[in-house]
Chains A and B, each alone.
Chain A
Amino acid sequence: MAIEADQAPVGQSRAGLAVLATGVTRGFQPGRGVLCGLDLSIAPGEFVALLGRSGAGKSTLLRILGGLDPEYGGDVLVPERRAVVFQEPRLIPWLKVLPNVTLGLRRGPDGRPGLRQRSAGALSEVGLAGHARAWPVTLSGGEAQRVALARALVREPQLMLLDEPFGALDALTRTRMHTLLQALCARHRPAVLLVTHDVQEAVLLADRAVVLTGGKITLDVPVGLPRPRDPAQPAFQRLRTRLLAELGVNEHASVPAGSTAAD
């Protein structure tokens, strides 16, 4: 439980980066590293999608960046204000929605009313202004995840860490969440690391897609498509195919176009 985060600011934003990870290693069993000398940098305001097969170490990296895993090797620099959205909303069941959003926030100069107002603002940004006094159990999966997004947003993070946040949602809800996330990112401009195994999601949302294989980044490509993106575009399809190939999925000609999952 002893987490001694290195809180001393290390040099003002090296080369204007939001994340600078060099030679990161992490192993759970001796001799079998999950991350072996991983390098990754993310620019402020950049949206990076991290792809990889299950067990590739995507979540391990995200947990290190989020400060949830202190047992890593190598050097990692992250901004002070970070926020995580997990695959499950992880709302505290015995707190209503609004106190869940304000959880752990320190009162600013505007005091408690200001805190509540900012949190209510974040809730209305995710379209849940009317749910401030609801219990988490009464929310649907999509609503709960939107509260989790609001909880992350209200912290005005310089780095948002999203750990497969839409993985447990149905396809329709996921599409709406994609739209919402894009709008929120356009407005708040945090650096984002989105861990996902959904290649289509990565190409749709990210400025850059990186693939994690064997504990290292093996592919790092800018997406470079104009927004809003259309999965039917040939460029979209080409990038998708390339990422899938890197993940070890060969698309046969007989597989109908439009299947998205990489696993």
Chain B
Amino acid sequence: MADRVGVTAPGATALADGIRAPGPVLAPGAAPGGELTLIRPARARRRRRLTITRVPRLARRAIGPIAAIALWQLVCSRGLFTSFEVASPVAVFDAARELASQGVLQSNLLISLQRVAIGLLLGVGIGVFLAVLCGLFWVGEDLLDPVIQAFRAVPILGLVPLVIIWFGVGEVPKIFLIALGCLFPVYLNTYAAIRNVDNKLVEAGRTFGLSRLGLVFKVILPGALPGFLVGLRFALVASWVIDVVAEEINAQSGLGYLINQAQSTNRIDIMFCCLTIYAVLGLVADAIVRLLERRLLVWRAAFAGG
């Protein structure tokens, strides 16, 4: 990033024609150094930066997905794939309109959303509760943490057959699996974050007379918030993954069920439509967490200048 300038200063101060910098005062007896090549340090090119940052952030972030969709459409209309292999964006849109006009899309989307919401709420709630228990109390850590770690090692989808035996095929097994999938990332990240809260702050809080409860609510839990939000992101992803799998295996409703049905009727466009909805839901979930971060972590953003 530094451009080389063909100016050499052989121990003197003349820079270029006509320019004379305030000269260094050489210590008496100090020999003039060897040839010195001068460079210019990195400097921003103002005009280009300005034009890019002038476009709103949302628009900048939309450029990538829009380009991807355009490429997808281009590949399809060029006939690189048959319509039995890959559905084009236009076909996906048509399928969505068809399903929506029958009311199928709304009802199945709603039931999936409901499962994910309930499972997420339960999983995050229990995860935070356990993290606080293990993070704050040695007894909790010694007794509970090893058990939780052991359960975490069990692949959740391996539980599907067992869960069907336990709970049948209704809503309970699906919500149970989703909650379980959300619990672990939230637990792990929140627990680690609680343990990583700067001990110097805890010490300061204690010297200034905070009670144990005050320490927990004013210092430890707010300090663990960034870690919790990381866990929440993982949990959001996990919840949808488990939702799809649970609905594809045994369900009469939901987006996963819709995909499964589409497979048996060979409706590749419906399959793509459902997958696209998942992608959009993922974007929405991410946006929600970003919003939460902006709201809850203002104290951290304050110095980044927005």
Report Cα–Cα, A28/B300, bound state, in Å: 36
Q: Are A67 and B302 in contact (CB-based, < 8 A)?
A: no
Report Cα–Cα, A48/B218, bound state, in Å: 33
Which residues, 255 to 300 on B, are CB-close (under 8 Å) to A?
298-300
B contact residues, total (Cβ < 8 Å): 22
Nearest B residue to A63, CB-CB = B203
Secondary structure of the A contact surface, majority rule: loop
Task: Knowing A90-B200, A103-B210, say if A137 contacts B205 (CB, 8 Å).
Answer: no
Report Cα–Cα, A88/B300, bound state, in Å: 18
Q: Are B299 and A93 in contact (CB-based, < 8 A)?
A: yes
A135 at the interface (CB under 8 A from B): yes
Q: Are A106 and B209 in contact (CB-based, < 8 A)?
A: yes
A66 at the interface (CB under 8 A from B): yes
Nearest A residue to B302, CB-CB = A135
Residues from chain A with a CB closer than 8 A to the CB of B300 are 93-94, 137
B223 at the interface (CB under 8 A from A): yes
Task: Knowing A92-B218, A92-B219, say if A135 contacts B298 (CB, 8 Å).
Answer: yes
Residues from chain B with a CB closer than 8 A to the CB of A236 are none
A104 at the interface (CB under 8 A from B): yes
A165 at the interface (CB under 8 A from B): no
A68 at the interface (CB under 8 A from B): yes
Task: Knowing A86-B204, A94-B223, say if A104 contacts B210 (CB, 8 Å).
Answer: yes
- Work out how many contacts link A and B, with CB atoms closer than 8 A: 62
Which residues, 158 to 206 on B, are CB-close (under 8 Å) to A?
200-201, 203-206
A197 at the interface (CB under 8 A from B): no
B53 at the interface (CB under 8 A from A): no
Interface centre among B210, B225, B299 (most CB of A within 10 A): B299
Report Cα–Cα, A90/B218, bound state, in Å: 14
Task: Knowing A86-B200, A88-B200, A104-B214, say if A94 contacts B208 (CB, 8 Å).
Answer: no
Q: Are A105 and B218 in contact (CB-based, < 8 A)?
A: no
B205 contacts which of A82, A92, A106, A155 (Cβ < 8 Å)? A92
Q: How large is the interface on A (under 10, 10 to 19, 20 to 34, 35 or more residues)?
A: 20 to 34
Q: Are A84 and B207 in contact (CB-based, < 8 A)?
A: yes
Nearest B residue to A89, CB-CB = B204
Q: Are A90 and B303 in contact (CB-based, < 8 A)?
A: no
Report Cα–Cα, A95/B221, bound state, in Å: 13
A29 at the interface (CB under 8 A from B): no
Report Cα–Cα, A151/B200, bound state, in Å: 16
A233 at the interface (CB under 8 A from B): no
B125 at the interface (CB under 8 A from A): no
Q: Are B207 and A137 in contact (CB-based, < 8 A)?
A: no
- Using CB atoms and an 8 Å cutoff, list the residues of chain A in contact with chain B: 3, 66-68, 82-84, 86, 88, 90, 92-96, 103-106, 135-138, 151, 155
- Using CB atoms and an 8 Å cutoff, list the residues of chain B in contact with chain A: 200-201, 203-211, 214, 218-219, 222-223, 225, 298-300, 302-303
Q: List 9 A-B contacts (CB under 8 A).
A: A67-B207, A83-B207, A83-B208, A84-B207, A90-B200, A92-B201, A103-B210, A105-B209, A135-B299
Other A-B contacts than A84-B207, A93-B300, A106-B209, 14 sampled, CB-CB below 8 A, are A68-B206, A90-B201, A90-B203, A94-B222, A94-B223, A104-B208, A104-B210, A105-B208, A105-B209, A135-B298, A135-B299, A135-B303, A136-B299, A155-B209
